[in-house]
Structure 1
Amino acid sequence: MNTPSVRAVRPEREILTRQRLPYFVGVSGETVGAQGLSMHLVVIPPGARAEPHLHRGHETAIYVLEGRVETRFGADLSQSVVSEAGDFLFIPPDEPHIAINLSATEPARAIVARNDPAERDRVEPYTPPPAAGG
C-alpha cells in the first residue's frame, strides 16, 4: 500500500451499506490509505430506518447536519436517544442500534466517523431477541 499523504476526497456516488442506508464514502483505508479511521456522509431518506446492526470492536461518532434522528439501542433496541442538527452522538463498540429518520418529508444527513479504516467490513446485522410474552 502507498504511504498516506494529504488528500481531498469528493465522493462521486453513493453506496448502499449493510445497514441499508445510502453512504457517500469519504476518508477510509480504501480511498486515502487511512490506517485508523473512516469518515463518511450518511443520508437517511424521509421516513427510512437502518437495519439493526452493530460495529464489531469499533466506536462510532456521528454529527447530525440536517434533520432529526432517533437512535434505538441496547440488546432489545428499547433504549432511545433523539439527535438533531448540531448534535453529536457516540455509539460504543458492539452496541446494537438502528437509526430512524423522524421526518416523513425531509432526509436526515450526518457525518459518521469510526476508528476503523475498513468500517464497512465490520458491520454485523443484529437480530433483537423476541419480546417477552411473545
Structure 2
Amino acid sequence: MTTQPATSGSTAAAAAGPASCDGFHPDLPDRPVAGADPAARFRVHHVRADDLDGDTAQTGGMRRFAAISGARVGSERMWMGQTHVAPATASADHHHGASETAIYVVSGHPEFVFLADGDGDGDGGGGGGSEQEVRLRTGPGDYIFVPPFVPHREENPDPDDEAVVVIARSTQEAVVVNLPGLHVLRPEQPHAH
C-alpha cells in the first residue's frame, strides 16, 4: 500500500494555522459580527444549560431562552434556544418573519396550532374553502418545522407539567412577530415566498 504525500497547498494551510485564515476556514467572513468578539469565529463555544439568556424576543404565554445567537457566540446564520410553556397555557398567536424554525420536543406534549384552507388538502394552497384549525399533537422526541411567516401558536394542555422544546432558526436572532389572531398564509401573499 502506497501513501500519497500531502500536497503543498494543504501543508501550507496547516502551517498557516487559524491566525491567517488562508485556506483554513475560507467560508468564514473577514468582518466580525456586530457586537461580538472578532475572535469568536475561531473557537468552539460551550453554552451551559444554566447559562441560557431570557433577554430575547418573547410571546405571551411562553418563555424563550437564547443559547446560540449572534450576540452570544457570534453566529451569523442561526439562532438556537429553548421555549417553555407552562401547564394549561397557550401562547399568543405569532410568526417568525422570514426565518425558518425547527423544533424538537424535549418534554411534555405541546400542541402546535395554525389555520389552513378547508379545501381538504390542509396545505394552505389557496383552495378558497373556509379556514380550519389544524392542531399538531406532539410528544418527546418529535420534530416540528414552521415555514417563514406562517402564523401559529403553541399550547400546553397538560394541567400539571410544563412543555419544553428546543428551537433552531435560520436567523442569528430570535425573530418574533406577535399577531392579533391566526390567519391562513397563502402563496399569493408577497411575504409567503
Q: How does 1:18-97 map to 2 (within 5 A)?
A: 18-20=58-60, 21-74=62-115, 78-97=133-152
Residue 108 (structure 1) aligns with? 163
2:4 aligns with: none
Match status 1:8 vs 2:63: no
Distance 2:182 2:82 in 1: 30
CA contact (8 A) 1:77 1:96 kept: no
Larger helix share, 1 or 2: 2
Ranges in structure 1 where 5+ consecutive residues have no aligned partner = none
| 1:126 to 2:179 alignment | yes
Paired residues of 1:57 and 1:94 also in contact (CA < 8 A): yes
State whether residues 56 and 66 of structure 2, in contact with CA within 8 Å, keep that contact through their aligned partners in structure 1. Answer: no
Percent of aligned pairs with the same residue? 27
RMSD: 2.1
What is the TM-score with the length of structure 2 in the denominator? 0.61
* Count of residue pairs the alignment pairs up: 128
For 1:109 and 1:71, locate their aligned partners in 2 and report how far apart those are by CA, in whole Å.
Answer: 13
Check the 8 A contact 2:78/2:172 in 1, yes or no.
yes
Report the TM-score when normalising by structure 1: 0.85
Contact 2:112 2:153 in 1 (8 A): yes
Quick one: distance in 1 between partners of 2:155 and 2:81? 18
TM-fit CA distance, 1:129: 6.6
Separation in 1 of the partners of 2:173 and 2:53? 18
Task: Kindly name which structure, 1 or 2, has the bigger radius of gyration based on alpha carbons.
Answer: 2
